[in-house]
Chains A and B, each alone.
Chain A
Amino acid sequence: MGYFEMAKTAIKTVMSRPATLMYPARPGKMTTLSRGHVVIDVSRCISCGMCMKKCPAEALCVDKEAKTWTIDRLRCVVCNSCIEVCPVHCLTMEGHYSSAVLAHSGLETFTITYVKPERPKKNESGEPAEA
C-alpha cells in the first residue's frame, strides 16, 4: 500500500475545517508581542534623537529645530530597537501592519507638540511659580 500513504492525511484535511483564515472577513492572528508598526506619542517626545541613533535601518529622522519626527515606512524593519532605547517611552509598537505605501511616499512626518515645562522659578515671596 506504499502508494496510498498520503490518503489518511488527505481524507483528514478534506473532512476538517480549512487551515487558512478568510482574511479580511476574519481578522488575522495577532499576539501581544506582534510587531506591526511604530507609533509615536508626539505630546511626550523630547526630541533626544536616541531612536535615530540606534535605528539599524536609518529609517528615523528627528529634527530638533523643526520639531518633527519622520519615519520612512519603507526603510523601517520593525525591529523594536527605537522602542527599547526611548527614554520617555513615547514610542510604542502596534500589532497591526501599517497600510501599503508607494515608493517615495513612505515618509511620514509628525510634528512634536511636547513643550518642555519651565523650571519653577522662585519669586520674591519664596513660593514656586506655576510651571
Chain B
Amino acid sequence: MSKKIVVPFGPQHPVLPEPIHLDLVLEDETVIDVVPSIGYIHRGLETLVAKREFTEYVYVAERTCGICSFIHGMTYCQGVEQIMDLEIPARAHYLRTIWSEYSRLHSHLLWLGLFADAMGFENLFMNSWRLREFVLDVLEETTGGRVIQGSCKVGGVRRDISDEKLAAMAGDLKSFETELSDLSEVFLHDDSLKSRLVGVGTLSRTDAYDLGAAGPVARGSGVAIDLRKTGYAAYRELRFEPATESAGDCYARCAVRIRELFSSIDLIRQAVETMPEGEIEVKVKGMPDGEYFSRSEQPRGELVHYLKGNGTKHLVRSRIRTPTLTNVPSLVKMLQGCELADVPVIVLSIDPCIGCMER
C-alpha cells in the first residue's frame, strides 16, 4: 500500500472563482478522501436583519449573492409577503418570473464559461461570456442594474416593463437562442470535452438523494426536484418540465444546465405572451408578525429564507440556506476515488457559490 499524502486545494486556486478549502487525501494520484473547510468570507448579512427595516433589508438580501441576486431578493420578499398576508398583483408575479429566468440564463452562462475555463478551453469560455453579455444588457435596460437588479420590493416590483419592450425582448431571444444552440453543440458533442466529463465525478441517484443534493446536481443524478414546480411567482401558470439526466457525472450536470437554458428561454416567452395587465405593487401596511420558510429555485438549486418577525419594523431572525451548502456533502462523495487532475472540473461541476453560502 502506498503512502497517503494530503494536498491542500484552495482557497486560492486558479480555477476557483471563490474561496473554499479542500484537503485532498491522496494515494498516488487518486483522491481517497476530502476534508472541506469554509469560513473565509463570512459577512454576517443575516445579523443585519435586526438593524435594517424589513422594507430596506431586501437590498441587503439581494447582495447575499453576486450572481443570483434577484432570486435572493424575491425569496425574501415572498417570505415577508406571506407573513403579512399580502396578495401581490399578477403582473408583479410575471415580472418577477421573467427576471428570475433571465438571472438563471446569466448564471448558467457564467458557469458554462467558468467550466470551460477550468478545462482550459479559453475560446469556449469567452464565447459563453459574450453570450451572457446579451442577458446582462437586457437586465440593465429593464431594471437599471446588470448584476444587482434592485427591482423587487415587499409588495411587488419597483419597475414595470412596457409591452413594446416585452415584445422586443421576446424577439431578441430568437437570435440569442440560435447562438446558444451553437454553443451547446460544443459542450455536448465535442470529443475533447466529453473525454474530460463523461464518467468523471459520478454521483448515484441514491447518494444524491441521501446527501441532500440540490438543483442541477440532484437533477443530473436523476432526482427530479425543481422548486419551480411548487408554483411560486407565476410558475404555476407556465408549462415546463424539470430537466433531468440519469448518468450523474460531470457531463450530465452540464447537460442539465444546458437544457435549463432552453427551458428558461421558453418560460420567458410564455410569460411575455400571457403577461396580465394591471398594477405592479400593493401598499404595505403594518409590520410583519410571524415566521415563514420561503423557498425558491436558484440556478444552483433550492434556496431557503427563514424569516421571523415580532410586529416591529425590524425582523428578529433571518436564516438563509443556499444550495451550495447542501451540495458540499455530494461534492465530497464525488471526489472520493477520482484522479487529482479531475478535481478542478468536479469542484466546478457543482457550481460553487461560496459568497452566497457563507453570507
Contact = CB atoms under 8 A, between A and B. Distances in A.
Interface of A: 2-3, 5-6, 8-10, 13, 19, 29, 31, 33-35, 54-57, 77, 79-81, 84, 93
A5 B186 contact: yes
B52 A56 contact: yes
Given A31-B144, A79-B59, A81-B56, A10 B123 contact: yes
Contacts of A9: 123, 127, 182-183, 186
Contact of A54 (B53, B60, B137, B150): B53
A33 B141 contact: yes
- The 4 residue pairs across chains A and B that have the minimum distance between CB atoms: A33-B144, A2-B191, A5-B190, A56-B59
Interface residues of B, number: 33
B143 interface: yes
A56 B133 contact: no
Contacts of A79: 59, 148, 150
19 contacts: A2-B191, A3-B190, A3-B192, A5-B186, A6-B121, A9-B186, A13-B127, A19-B133, A31-B140, A31-B144, A34-B140, A35-B144, A35-B150, A56-B57, A57-B59, A80-B144, A80-B150, A80-B158, A81-B59
Given A13-B127, A31-B141, A56-B59, A6 B190 contact: yes
Contacts, number: 65
The B interface is mostly helix, strand or loop, or mixed, namely: helix
B53 A33 contact: no
B6 to A, nearest CB: 37
Contact of A2 (B52, B59, B121, B190): B190
A2 B143 CA distance: 41
Given A2-B190, A8-B182, 5 more contacts: A2-B194, A5-B185, A33-B140, A33-B144, A55-B56
B189 interface: yes
